[in-house]
């Protein structure tokens, strides 16, 4: 969603821990620190991330997923999880956010630490999607496929929130704060938000 995207139209109309599966399919990502391509399985990535702590976990998964596929606008709004994104090698911003969500949840990260955030990018201006990580103090860090930098949401003044959601909760940004919304009343990318939420670990 770095340019025009089908998600935009559906967003404008609205203004659980589930079993985890691990794929043995290998994927390749570019490690810019070591300047080499690395091929590994999803299970190996999950194991690596589990060995890290705190911000290091977020930084690593943000870098791996960002470098495992390229951002590409798609004519049809098909949401992709980690396996499909890395297999096809391209996707929209929500695919990157979703892939990071899946891997971090698979490592055992508590569900209440993560959610997906749909925003308006005021610099472009376009619609965009990122992953958020909730800190102990209630503030959020932003994992964005367009940068390896992980910044506090308060510093991402280029992003105007629209809706945030995880597998069980959804919130609408209204009058400078979030309010709870009924996900079956909101359409996101051509589907009800309730359907999106129920499928987050299965895309």
Q: Which residues in 128-149 are b (16+ Cβ under 10 Å) and which e? A: bbbbbbbeeeeebbbbbbeeee
Lowest mean pLDDT among 132-136, 138-142, 178-182, 189-193: 189-193
Interior angle at CA 75, CA 71 and CA 80, nearest 5: 55
Encode pLDDT of 135-148 as tens digits. 999 999 999 999 99
Please say if the pLDDT value at position 11 is more than 80: no
Residues above pLDDT 70, as percent of the chain:
88
In terms of Cβ atoms closer than 10 Å to its own Cβ (0-12, 13-18, 19+), residue 88 is middle
Q: Which residue has the higher pLDDT, 192 or 10?
A: 192
Please say if the pLDDT value at position 22 is more than 70: no
Lowest mean pLDDT among 17-26, 50-59, 116-125, 166-175: 17-26
The structure tokens listed for 97 are 């956010």
**DSSP 3-state of 179:** strand
Range 182-199 average pLDDT:
93
Lowest mean pLDDT among 70-79, 93-102, 167-176: 70-79
Which residues touch 136 (CB under 8 Å, ≥6 apart)? none
Encode pLDDT of 89-118 as tens digits. 999 999 999 999 999 999 999 999 999 999
Cα distance between residue 165 and residue 193, in whole Å? 9
- How high is the pLDDT of residue 24? 60
Q: Locate the domains of the chain by residue range.
A: 6-198
> Dihedral of CA 155/94/59/29: which sign?
negative
Please say if the pLDDT value at position 13 is more than 60: no
- How high is the pLDDT of residue 10? 37
Does domain 6-198 sit in CATH 3.30.70.20?
no
Closest CA to 94 of 105, 104, 106, 80: 80
């Amino acid at each position: 969603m770095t340019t025009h995207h089908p998600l935009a139209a559906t967003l404008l109309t609205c203004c659980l821990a589930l079993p985890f599966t691990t794929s043995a399919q290998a994927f390749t990502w570019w490690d810019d620190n070591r300047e080499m391509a690395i091929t590994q399985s999803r299970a190996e990535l999950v194991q690596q991330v589990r060995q890290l702590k705190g911000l290091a976990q977020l930084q690593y998964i943000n870098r791996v997923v960002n470098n495992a596929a390229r951002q590409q606008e798609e004519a049809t709004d098909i949401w992709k999880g980690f396996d499909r994104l890395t297999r096809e090698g391209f996707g929209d911003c929500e695919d990157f956010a979703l892939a990071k969500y899946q891997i971090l949840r698979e490592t055992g990260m508590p569900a209440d630490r993560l959610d997906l955030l749909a925003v308006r990018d005021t610099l472009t201006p376009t619609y965009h999607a990122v992953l958020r990580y909730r800190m102990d103090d209630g503030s959020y860090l932003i994992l964005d496929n367009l940068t390896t930098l992980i910044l506090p949401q308060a510093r991402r003044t280029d992003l105007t929130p629209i809706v945030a959601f995880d597998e069980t909760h959804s919130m609408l940004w209204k009058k400078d704060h979030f309010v709870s919304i009924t996900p079956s009343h909101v359409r996101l990318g051509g589907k009800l938000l309730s359907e999106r939420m129920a499928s987050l670990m299965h895309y």
